[in-house]
Amino acid sequence: MNVFRFIGRKIRSGAGQESRNDRMGSVSSTIGLVSVALSIMVIIIAICVVMGFRREIRSKTSAFMGSLALVVPGQTPMNDRYPFTDSISFLGKLDSVPGVDYCQRVAYCSGMLKTSDNIFGAHFKGVDSLYNFSFFRENLTDGELPSFSGRISSSILLAERLARQMGFGVGDEVTAYFIGDEVKVRKFKICGLFDAQLENLDNSMVICDIRQVQRINGWDSDEVSSIEIMLKNSADIEQKRNQIYDVVYEESSDDDPALFVTSVKQLFPNLYDWLNLLDFNVVAILLLMIVVAGFNMISALLIILFRNISSIGLLKAMGMTSSGVGKVFRYIALNIVGKGLLIGTAAALVLCAVQKYFKVISLDPENYFVKYVPIEFDFGYILLANVLALVLIMLILSLTSRFIANVSPDKTMRAA
């Protein structure tokens, strides 16, 4: 057995016996352990919450507008002026790019929805019968999803907040006006309401038949605003954007339209800037909690050192160096820190699991874009946080080596 570990265990067991009469050492050890446990618990909860927000925001924005999109250069995916044909020679090769789930064509136009006493601006997103409605199915609050197979449909899927402002519900007819070279009027019937909770964009979004939009814009049946590219993992957006751009650049023929690859991060910059700010907050919390735990551990270890100052003198008198004595007490500190990390991690995982599966803490979706505090377990980050906490706390505890170096054997032995 390692001699430093053996002596450390003897000192700890001796301190436990003395604590029946003098509990100062036991209390200091407990304070250090609780400090470490609380610190790592706060850090892990913060990591799980931020990772949860990242997952929810990425999945929502990607499902709502596509992770990536092929667009005309200089235009957004919601472009309603410069269409391009969807018969692109390299479109089939995009599906073979690793991580790409599927592609779907969409067309947009801007219009106004009129009530008896008010007018509301809206973006009409035209989709076809092959469109994946899974996101809207999950966020459907009333009614049913539209069907765009067969004849041109006048059914629309409307944002719940917009319908509430207009005083409309499922089954109501809505008159829409489209301003261009001439004013076009269309009547639609609300078949369902959805609530995506994405800033103000979903508040003005109307899902309709792509053929309606193409007719309103005066486009041919193969002309679209953009082609949405859905990824299997929305965390790989920038990496996949570069890969798809390479395919577009290398596989485009002279007959293909000039297209650019844009990402959902460019469509929702405020949301992703907010996520980056959360990342900064987690780093600040991590450093602050580790420093607090480290200095609380210094206080606990100094008390243990004071209570065992005669043992330090005896070890030095027997020939052990100051660094060797430091290793003995760092082993004692490592035992306390290790227990604190285990207890804190276990408590954090339990609390996060309760929130993840029972959704105890709710949020205002208008401010946080979700209805409850989201939780995502990333055990790689959790393990990394524990390792960083352990290393940094032990580095902070190395400050106590100066105290050990100043202990004089003859004085401590005489005092004992």
Q: What is the pLDDT of residues 201-228, one digit of tens each?
A: 678 889 999 999 999 999 999 999 999 9
pTM value is 0.82
| Spatial CB neighbours of 402, under 8 Å, sequence gap ≥ 6 | none
Q: Where are the domains of the chain?
A: 3-60+271-415, 73-258
DSSP run (H or E) holding 37: helix 24-65
Q: What pLDDT does 415 receive?
A: 46
Helix, strand and coil content of the chain, in percent to the nearest 5, comes to 55, 20, 25
What per-residue confidence (pLDDT) applies to 395?
Answer: 84
Q: Which residues pair with 178 in a beta bridge?
A: 184
Residues with Cβ within 8 Å of residue 326, at least 6 apart in sequence: 398, 400, 401, 404
Low-confidence ranges of the chain (pLDDT < 70): 1-25, 199-201, 306, 308-326, 400-416
Predicted pLDDT at 103: 93
**Cα-flanking dihedrals φ and ψ of residue 164, to 5°?**
-65, -40
Sole residue written with tokens 């929502």: 60
In three-state secondary structure terms, 183 is strand
**pLDDT score, position 19:** 45
- Three-state SS at 307: helix
Query: Please, which residues bridge with residue 322 across strands?
Result: none
